[in-house]
Amino acid sequence: MIATHMVNSLADTARAAARTLNVATGAERSAALNAIADAMIARGAEIIAANEEDMVRARAAQINSSLLDRLLLTPTRVEGIANGARQVSELPDPLGITLRHSTLPNGIDLKQVTVPFGVIGMVYEARPNVTVDAAVILLMSGNAALLRGSSSASASNQILVTVMRDALKATKISPDVIQLVPSDDRDTVKALLNARGKVDLVIPRGSASLIRMVVDESTVPTIETGAGVCHVYIDEFADLAKALPIIINSKVQRPSVCNAAETVLIHTKIAKAFVPVVLKALHDAGVILHGDAQVLELAGSIPMSAATEENWCTEYGTLEMNVAIVDSVDAASDHIAKYGTKHTEAIITENKANATRFIALSDCAAVMVNTSTRFTDGEQMGFGAEIGISNQKLHARGPMGLEAMTTTTWIVTGDGQIRS
C-alpha cells in the first residue's frame, strides 16, 4: 500500500506538471533539452562521483564485467549523453502534426493530429544513461516521465534526475515532469505496473527476464523492448574482406547491448576456408565460442564447445558467440526464425537477389545488409537518443524516438452542425 500510494502520488504530480508541456511550444521544449545538456556538462564531476559510488558497490558485489560496463559513466559517456539530448532538441517537433485532413459533406472540418501519451513510466536496469535518454525523449514529445531504474544505479540515477530537474527550473517546463521512482523498494515496480488510470504507458528496458515480467504483470499498456538474439549470416556471395570486420564489430564493439550479435551463420560453400579465419579472429578478441558439429570439425586448435539448444537462444551480453554452418539463405532464415527474438538480423552478400530474399524472410525490427548489427540504434539512425528498441509489432517497432512516443487525437470543427 505504501508503494502504491507513493507511485500514484508521483504520477499525479507528473500529470499536473505535464500541463506546462501541453502548452509549451516546440522551441520551448527544445530549449529545455539544451538546458539539460548544458547542466550535464557543467556538473559532470558530480555525476562521475555519484556513479563511482555505484561502481564501488557493484565491484564489491562481484557484478560481471558486462553489467559493470552498462553501469559505468565516464566523462566521454556523460558528454555523449549531453550530445544525445542536443540531437533530440534539434529534431522536428513531433506534436501537432496533421496526419489526416478532410472536409465532410456537411461542412465539418476533420483533422487527426499527433499528441503526447501523457505520463509514461520507464522500468530499466543498470544503464544510468537511460535515465537521461528516456527523459529527454519524453519531454520533447510532450510526456511526463516516471523513471524507475535499478538499485545498482541508485546514486547515478539520483544525481542525473537532480541535474535535469535543476536545469528545468530556468525554463518554461516544470521540473515535476521528471519523477524518480525509488529503487530501494521492489514493490514500487509492481505499483507502477498497476497504476492504470494514473500512468498511460510503461516501457521496460533491460534483460529478457525484466521485460517478460513487465509485459506479463502490467495492467498498464506496455511497449515491449525485446531481448536481442541477433544473427549475422555470411552468404556464399559475401565479400569476405567486409564480412570479417562486420562479424567482429557486431560482437566485440560493445557486447553488453541488445544489438550485439550472438550467432554467426556461414554458408557451407565458403565454410572450409572462412570458418577457421572467423574462429581465430573471435578467439583473439577474447570471445568464448560454441559451434555446431561441422564448425567443431573446422576449429583446429581453437578452443570451443558444442552449442546446445540453450546456447542458440541465449542473449549473452558478454564476449560469447555461437557459430553454425548453413546451406542456403532459407536455411539461415529458418535458424533465425527458430532462435531469434525479432530484433536485428544481418546478411553479408554481394548478391542482390539473396539480400532481397533474406529481407523478405526476416521478421524483425531491423535488417542489415553488409553492415554491423550495432547500427540498430536511435542515435546512429539519426533519431538522437532512443527510448528503447521495440521488437513487437503494435504501435512502434525498432528504435523508438520522438514519433513513437506520440498518439493521436481527432479535431472536429463545425459551424453549428447537428446530427440528424
Do residues 114 and 99 make contact, with C-beta atoms less than 8 angstroms apart? yes
Query: Is 3.40.309.10 the CATH classification of the domain at 230-375?
Result: yes
Interval 126-170: pLDDT, tens: 789 999 999 999 999 999 999 999 999 999 999 999 999 999 999
Report the sign of the C-alpha dihedral through residues 382, 204, 223, 320, in that order.
positive
* Rounded distance between C-alpha atoms, residue 196 and residue 221, angstroms: 8
- Which residues, 6 or more positions from 68, have their beta carbon under 8 angstroms from its beta carbon? 55, 58, 59
Nearest to 232 by CA among 328, 373, 343: 373
List, by residue range, all CATH 3.40.605.10 domains of the chain: 2-225+400-413
Q: Is pLDDT at 386 greater than 80 in this prediction?
A: no
pLDDT of 232: 98
Nearest to 119 by CA among 12, 225, 6, 191: 12
pLDDT of 420: 87
Query: Is 3.40.605.10 the CATH classification of the domain at 2-225+400-413?
Result: yes
List, by residue range, all CATH 3.40.309.10 domains of the chain: 230-375
Mapping DSSP to helix (H, G, I), strand (E, B) and coil, where does residue 29 land? helix
Residue 73 backbone phi and psi in degrees, to 5: -115, 130
Specify the pTM: 0.83
Nearest to 267 by CA among 220, 326, 310, 344: 326
Interval 11-49: pLDDT, tens: 999 999 999 999 999 999 999 999 999 999 999 999 999
Nearest to 145 by CA among 33, 27, 3, 39: 33
Q: Is pLDDT at 401 greater than 70 in this prediction?
A: yes
What percentage of the chain's residues is helix, strand, coil (to nearest 5)?
45, 20, 35
pLDDT of 123: 95
Residue 339 backbone phi and psi in degrees, to 5: -110, -15
* Rounded distance between C-alpha atoms, residue 279 and residue 295, angstroms: 9
Q: Is pLDDT at 385 greater than 70 in this prediction?
A: no
Interval 45-82: pLDDT, tens: 999 999 999 999 999 999 888 789 889 999 999 999 99
Residue 303 backbone phi and psi in degrees, to 5: -70, 130
Nearest to 251 by CA among 349, 321, 352, 196: 321
**pLDDT interval class at 384 (50, 70, 90):** low
